[in-house]
Structure formats: C-alpha cells, structure tokens
Structure 1
Amino acid sequence: MSATNALLYCAVNGIANNTNGIGRQTKTLLATLARHHHRLSAHAGAFTPYLAVPEPGPATWGYNESDLRYARRVVEGLGGQILTLPYDTGRPFWQPDTWRQLSGEAARAAGHLADRHAKVLAIGVDTPFAGLVHHVGAHPAMEVLLALFSTARITERPRPDPGRVTWEEEAIAAANLHPRTWVADIGDFLTRHLKDHYGLNPASLRPWPSGLPLTSADLTPPTRTEAERIVRALGIPAGRPVVAAVGRTDHTKGLDLLIEALAPLRDDVHLAMVAVPTDDDRAALLDSYRHRSAELGLSASIVGRYDRDIPRALAAWPDTYVMAVPSRGETLANIVFETALWAQHSGAVVLAPDIDGFPEQITDGHNGLLYDPAPGALTAGLRRALTLTSDERARLRANAHRSVIARRNAAEHLAALLATFWQTHANGVTRLLGHPATDARTPRSQATTSTHHPLEATP
C-alpha cells in the first residue's frame, strides 16, 4: 500500500467536455493541480489525484477529445489516472436512476483506491454524484465530501422536479448521519439554503469557498488587438455601448429577461450574447432568443457556441459597459469572478439581481451593480450602468478585481480543505492563509449554525 493519500474528484463535466459552471470548476481543479500540486502536498501531505468521469463518448454533452487529453496529461503527470465510469447511455442522463449508477461506480473506484492508498478523499461534485454519501461505510479509509453547487429548488423554481429533490434530500440526510461524510461550504447562500430547505446539519460542513486559478493564462485580460479581432468577427459595431451576457439556453439563466429588458434601449446599445445550447430540448431556446431579438428590433449578436475567448474579449472590450447576469436563480456565478479579472483595465461592470448568492459576489455600487428583480428593474439597472462615468466604471472594476484576488484563490482554498482531512502540516496552511484551520475532529454535536467560513473576509 502506498503511504500517500488519494484525492478522487468525481464530475460529469470539465474532463471530457466543458459546457457549464461545473466544467469550469473542474478546469479550476486541473489548473490548480498542474501549477500547485507540490505546494498542496507540502501543506496537506503527499497525495495522488484521480478524476472520475462518466464514460466519455457520443453520449457526452459537448464531448471534446482535447479536453480529455488535457485532463489525462495533468493527472497522469502527477501519478494519477482518469477513471471512466460505465453507465447506461440509453437512459436519460439527468435523472436519479443514472446518477445512482454513477455514484455506485464511483464508490467502487474509491474502494479500489482505498486498497492502494493510506486515505481516500472522494469529492462528489454536484447532484449526479450526491449518491456517493450512501457508500462510504464500506471503506474505512474513505471519506466523502459532497460538493453541491446548486439544487433543484434553486435552478427549477418554482416547480422543482420531485425526483431530483428527493435524491438531494436523501444525500443530505445521509451526510448528516455518517461520521465520514461531509458537505462543502461553497458559499453562504448555498449553505443557508441547504440548512433551511434540506435540513443540513452544520457540523457536516467543511469550508471550500468557490475560487479561481488566479494565475491561469485564460483569466488574464486580452490585449486590445486580440479583443478587437474577436468583437469585430462577431459583427459588433464600433462606437456603440455593448451589453454582454453569457449563459446556457436554460430558463434559469434568464437570457430571455435580458432581451425583453433591452427593448426600451434598442436605439442606444448593442447586445452581445453567448447563449450555449444545452444537451436537451432546451436548445430550441437559442432560436427563440434570436427571433425575439429581431422582433423587438434589437441590434444584437447572439452566438450559439462556447469559445472561452469570446466572453474574455467581450468583458475587456472598452465599449462593453455591462456584463449582465440576469439569472432567475444562481448560487455563485463564475462569470462575475471572471469578468473582474478580464475587465480589470477596461470594459464591463457586472450587473446582477439582488438574489441568492449574488450579494456575496457584489456589493452594490462598490464592485458592481445589483437590481431588485421586480418588473422593469432590469431595464432600470441597465440604464444605471450605461450612465456611469468612465471614472465610476473604473472604480467598480478595480474594486471587483481586488475582491477576487483577495478572496477567490483556488489554490489556497484547496490547500486548506485537504489539510482539514489529512491534517499533515495543518499549521503550515494556517500560517499561509492567516486563518485558523478547521479541526476535522470537532464533534458534530458541537457545531454552531454560523455560515461564516474563515477563508473569506468581509468585502
């Protein structure tokens, strides 16, 4: 048996594809491992990373062989493997029967790793791997961290799917009971939501704030020449204020709300929207967005594919006044953090509704703008953003950049998380971060109801 520990990260996106926020979280992990594995090992003890993914192939939403090659290169370079999990591709993917099969296969993979490593931390990323918590009892060397990034009660308001809610409720109930299962404290809103609506025991929490690989090349601002080449290729006119937006063709992302809100401003702005079709029948929404924009007479470029260079260029383009995030429900939106990095020198200020996790990301008038999600309020918020002076926009962008740099370092967060499980050199992580480390041995009965996690400072 190896003296090293094993980190098993189980995700449905970001390994053989990259089509949603969970994919970006996986890419963040890969970038963090590639650049900081030695540092993480120094503070949390030597470990080997493994990634588990539903067996890639034609059934994979947005399958991309280059994504899979990149994941393999990173993980195999550190002595680990990409583990492919068989499942019934004839079933609908986004339903509990498929997730149950995937969670069981992931637990089986964790058991094999437990035979070879001193300890195994299996991270089940989001709803499809929530069932991992039901399997931890068979492997004494295994612990499970459930990292939900949203729930059906958030993304499927006002009528969430009962089967998905039950799946999530059963996972939280299991995490409350088993001493080797935990739930990631991703952010204050989601943690409150899990306590209030799913009965999460606060003693089951482990802090792991959402973060970014801050030094990654794709998070640096593009040059003016790079940005201009991309925006001109999209047909964005010169000298007209741009309202940008990025999201899936998913009702919860609210892109339809933005189109309607821009109607009174049609003579003043150009809409640059990246609307990426999902892997189900909601792809038809892309055509509806284009049709409605034309019907309203909007000047608009609506892109139906995801190319990371496009939002990067839009965020940094000097004529982009606002990056609108009109979600109906959102835990923590990656585009808010990313825009803060891309637009640090010029470009967009973020505008988002004052709901869910957005107030964690944005302090209105300090590092972005919030609007009350009432009828007509999005149009008013857009007008407010468009009338900011250049100095006001620069101040908001500078504050947004400082906030992300100070609070969203994914390497710091992962180092602290692993130390709480493996304890080796935990004091070193404490000194590195300047905050007390969480004691993994604290009895659950002693937990408080506080949702504050020490890795984040007050804005």
Structure 2
Amino acid sequence: MSAPTPALLYCAVNGIDNCTNGIGRQTKTLLATLERHHTRLAAAVGPFTPYLAAPQPGPATWNHDPEHLAYASRVVEHLGGRVIALPYDTDRPFWHPATWQQLSEGAAQAAADLARHHSRVLTIAVDTPFAAVPALTGHQRIHTVLALFSTAMITERPAPDPQHLDWERTAVTAVNRRPRAYVADIGTFLADHLTRDYGLDPAALTPWPSGLHLTHPDLAPMPAGDAHALAHRHGIPTDRPVVAAIARTDPTKGLDLLIDALTPLREDVHLAAIAVRTDDERAALFDTYQRQCDRAGLRATLIGDFDRHLPRALAALPTTRVMACPSRGETLANVVFETALWAQNGGAVVLAPARDGFTEQITDGHNGLLYEPASPGALTGGLRRALALTETERARIRRAAHTRVVAERDSAQHLGALLARYFPDRRGQAGRLTAHPVPGTRPPRSQATPSQHDFLEATR
C-alpha cells in the first residue's frame, strides 16, 4: 500500500558529506531551503518527504567531513527522510564512467525502493555521475529530472575526454526516449548547449533555474570591520586595492590567466585567491600558481583550503575592487550570484569573460563587467577598467547586481514550482504552480503552468 505522500530523492556527489565545489553549494542550497521552508512548500504543494542519495560516505570521499554529513542527515531525518548511501568501488577512479554507472544504478534502485512506499517519487539526478539515472528508472510513479550543471565540453576544453563525452551524450539522448524523464533547464546557455551539442529534444527541458537560499546567514554581507580582521588573519593586506578570486585548482577556472593579466598591475594591487586543492593531480596546480606569482613579482595571497567565511570577507572588504572570474568555461558561476549578496553594502564588482553563462548573469556595465576573452590583453584591460571605477559607479553596479539576484534567484520559489509540476496536491490534482523562469528558458513538456505570482501567494 502506497503512502499518501510523494517523495523527493536528491542524488548528488558533493555537498552531503563534503562541500568543495559548485555542485556542493547547490546541495547546501537545497538543504537550507528544505530546513527553512519545508512547511511553506508543503502548504503550497502538499506534504512530501525528502531523501538524499550520495556515494558511500567515508575516507574515500573528497574532503569527507562528518559534520557535513550530520547536518544533511539532521535536515532530512527531521522531515521523515534519510540519507541513502550508495556503495561503489572505491578502488576504481571516481571520475570514470564505470563508477558513474554504478552510482546511477544505485540511485535508480533507491528510487524504485521509495516508489514502493510513496505515491510518487521525484528523483533529481545531479550532474554527470548520475546522468544515467533517467535511463534506468521506468516505474510509473517515478519522475526523473537530470540536473546537469556543466558538461565535459565546457569544463574539459579544449580536449574533452572521449569517454566522458560518450557517457554524457548517451545519457542526455536517452531522456528523449523515456517517459517521465526530463532535463533541468537551469539557464539559457546550458539548455542551448545540450540541445545543440548533445542532441537533447528541447521538449524534454523543464524549468529549474539555478538559485540561492537568499536569506541564509552565510550569504549576508560581512561587516567591514569583521572583513578587515579576517583578511588580516589570512595575511591579506588592506592598504591597497585587492583583486579577489575564488576557484578550485582546475585549469578551467583560469587562475593562471588572471595571474598573467595582473602582472602589468603588480605595483598597484594585491591578489587574494582562494584556490581550493582538488583530490587528484590537479592539486599540484596550487604550487604552480604560487610559483607563477613569484616569477611575476606579484603581491599575492593564495589560500588552498576552503573557508566559507573568507569569500564573504573578500567580497565585502572595502578595499576589494574586483571579484575576478577568469574561467575558460562556465555554465553559471555561483560566485557571481553570491558576490551580489555579499557585496551589496560595499566591496567587489564582478569581472568575467563574455562567454558561456556569464552573458546571462551579467549585463556589461550594469550589474558587472565583461571582457572579450579572445582579445589579447582584454583581461588586463578589464581589470584596469574595474579599478578605475568611481565609488558612485561601483555602488550603482553592486546595487543592480543585488536587485537582479533577489528578483531571479530565490531557490524556495524555484523548488516549489518544480515540486508542484510533478507532485499531485492533496486533492489529487496535478501541481499548478511554477517559478517564473529566467529569460530565455523554455516551458516543460509536461504542461503549461501559471506564473510565479501564484506560488508567492500560496506560500505567504
């Protein structure tokens, strides 16, 4: 006998017992949204039970932290769910299709198990390691949304691994042939990329814009005095303009490009870069970046470990002029959205290349600055332009950035709309609510739905 309530199963490889990248931040956003807004969401779409599925937590997990796992467990257990550990071969390379197949099979089985006890299961399969889940779920009570936040074509430029490409293309095109399977339309650039380069049927897209838990304490601006103190503890001087960057040690993130571009400005600025060491051979890039700064004579502070408070401090620091995002490829950069909140009272404006998802996040000169990445010297020129802004101009840009993020990136609204689309409400009718998609996103193939206003009214 099925229970009267549906279930939400969120499958992710980062953010449950660790938090080291953008996928981890997305998972943390979901957890905060559930923790603080579950009652509102249930009032709007009907009761539901959230579950998490993750690779078996433990020493094999990149930056495994029991406190992260305890928090994730506490959130979902309080709401009647649990964390489901997915066994996998920890002796095999994690970033390999064989491992991903094992994880996808485990997640599909978890969804099938939940379907025996819940009236419906909405499975959100997050990113490449869970990309095969839609092809492996066929139960009539299971709806699956594949939430890709990037692809090998974007992150492994200029020469993506052929095995990674084959895995992603097979998984994406499988959605075209599966009933009750969808791909999350998180933004215009990625949706166009998946349809053009991977063969996704546009009718399979379902709106779920990338968002933030806007009122979470770790997105609040840090007071200037606290930001100064934290910067000093990390050896970051505040007597000259600071150029900040937040990334992991991955060539895609382009920290080497930023260091080169800052060399002509070495007498005028200090680079403060959080370059989080990854769990593979790319971790050695941290030392490479340090040597590059030394050779260039660039005043720089590189931090290899992630501390959630330091990005807040750097963004809000009055002497931080620029939050630089020099990526070679980026779908939608969390740091762009987060900086808009952290720096609303003072601090950094964002500088990014006019490529990929940055162009839907930033309108040049309005809520940030863009430069042409293919033009020689353009990044240095963009840095000069940012440093030359007056305080009035910087305040105007920061204000516009904050206004836009608050208007477009509320994760509670987005999650409520997604649940309403696939969960029946308490009267047994199909969900009738949706979040207002960001410009350029497409309606789902399931059905047309009303405006964001309906969801806002229902959750007040």
TM-score relative to the length of structure 1:
0.94
Partner of 1:291: 291
SS at match of 1:194: helix
SS at match of 1:414: helix
Partner of 1:114: 115
Superposed counterparts of 1:19-418, under 5 Å: 19-137=20-138, 139-373=139-373, 374-418=375-419
Write out per-residue CA displacement over residues 162-208 of structure 1, whole angstroms, 9 at most, x where no aligned residue. Answer: 10111111111110011111000010000000010001101111100
Write out per-residue CA displacement over residues 114-137 of structure 1, whole angstroms, 9 at most, x where no aligned residue. Answer: 000000011100000001011112
Write out per-residue CA displacement over residues 123-155 of structure 1, whole angstroms, 9 at most, x where no aligned residue. Answer: 100000001011112x22111100000000111
Q: Following TM superposition, by how much is the alpha carbon of 1:282 offset from its aligned partner in structure 2, in angstroms?
A: 0.3
SS at match of 1:146: strand
Q: Following TM superposition, by how much is the alpha carbon of 1:429 offset from its aligned partner in structure 2, in angstroms?
A: 3.2
Q: Following TM superposition, by how much is the alpha carbon of 1:364 offset from its aligned partner in structure 2, in angstroms?
A: 0.2
CA distance in 2, matches of 1:331, 1:125: 14
SS at match of 2:272: strand
Contact 1:371 1:378 in 2 (8 A): yes
Letter in 1 for 2:288: S
Flag the 1:426–1:404 CA change in 2: closer, same or farther, 3 A: farther
CA distance in 2, matches of 1:365, 1:205: 31
SS at match of 2:370: strand
Letter in 1 for 2:321: Y
Contact 2:203 2:444 in 1 (8 A): no
Contact 1:325 1:353 in 2 (8 A): yes
Contact 1:6 1:121 in 2 (8 A): yes
Contact 1:420 1:440 in 2 (8 A): no
Which runs of no fewer than 5 residues in structure 2 stay unpaired?
Answer: 454-460
SS at match of 2:91: coil
Contact 1:136 1:180 in 2 (8 A): no
Contact 1:239 1:319 in 2 (8 A): yes
Q: Following TM superposition, by how much is the alpha carbon of 1:438 offset from its aligned partner in structure 2, in angstroms?
A: 5.5
The size of the alignment, in residue pairs, is 445
SS at match of 1:429: coil
Write out per-residue CA displacement over residues 51-74 of structure 1, whole angstroms, 9 at most, x where no aligned residue. Answer: 000001111001011000000110
Contact 1:420 1:438 in 2 (8 A): no
Flag the 1:434–1:340 CA change in 2: closer, same or farther, 3 A: closer
Identity %: 61
Partner of 2:456: none
Which runs of no fewer than 5 residues in structure 1 stay unpaired?
Answer: 444-452
Write out per-residue CA displacement over residues 274-305 of structure 1, whole angstroms, 9 at most, x where no aligned residue. Answer: 00011110000000001110111011110011
Q: Following TM superposition, by how much is the alpha carbon of 1:439 offset from its aligned partner in structure 2, in angstroms?
A: 6.6
SS at match of 1:176: helix
Flag the 1:454–1:285 CA change in 2: closer, same or farther, 3 A: farther
SS at match of 2:150: coil
CA distance in 2, matches of 1:395, 1:146: 37
Partner of 1:429: 433
Contact 1:276 1:305 in 2 (8 A): yes
CA distance in 2, matches of 1:172, 1:79: 32
Q: Following TM superposition, by how much is the alpha carbon of 1:238 offset from its aligned partner in structure 2, in angstroms?
A: 2.8
Moved more, 408-417 or 228-237: 228-237
Q: Aligned pair 1:10/2:17, yes or no? A: no
Q: Following TM superposition, by how much is the alpha carbon of 1:375 offset from its aligned partner in structure 2, in angstroms?
A: 1.9
CA distance in 1, matches of 2:345, 2:182: 40
Instruction: State the 4+ residue runs in structure 1 displaced beyond 2 angstroms.
Output: 423-430, 432-435, 437-443, 453-456
Write out per-residue CA displacement over residues 14-52 of structure 1, whole angstroms, 9 at most, x where no aligned residue. Answer: 000000000000000000000111111122221100000
- Superposition RMSD on alpha carbons, in Å? 2.0
Q: Following TM superposition, by how much is the alpha carbon of 1:423 offset from its aligned partner in structure 2, in angstroms?
A: 4.4
CA distance in 1, matches of 2:381, 2:452: 35
Letter in 2 for 1:308: R
Flag the 1:276–1:439 CA change in 2: closer, same or farther, 3 A: closer
CA distance in 2, matches of 1:379, 1:165: 33
SS at match of 1:99: helix
Letter in 1 for 2:64: Y
Write out per-residue CA displacement over residues 233-271 of structure 1, whole angstroms, 9 at most, x where no aligned residue. Answer: 122223200000000000000001000000000000000
CA distance in 2, matches of 1:429, 1:217: 28
Letter in 2 for 1:18: C
Letter in 1 for 2:159: R
Contact 1:19 1:62 in 2 (8 A): yes
Q: Following TM superposition, by how much is the alpha carbon of 1:441 offset from its aligned partner in structure 2, in angstroms?
A: 3.6
TM-score relative to the length of structure 2:
0.94
CA distance in 2, matches of 1:427, 1:118: 14
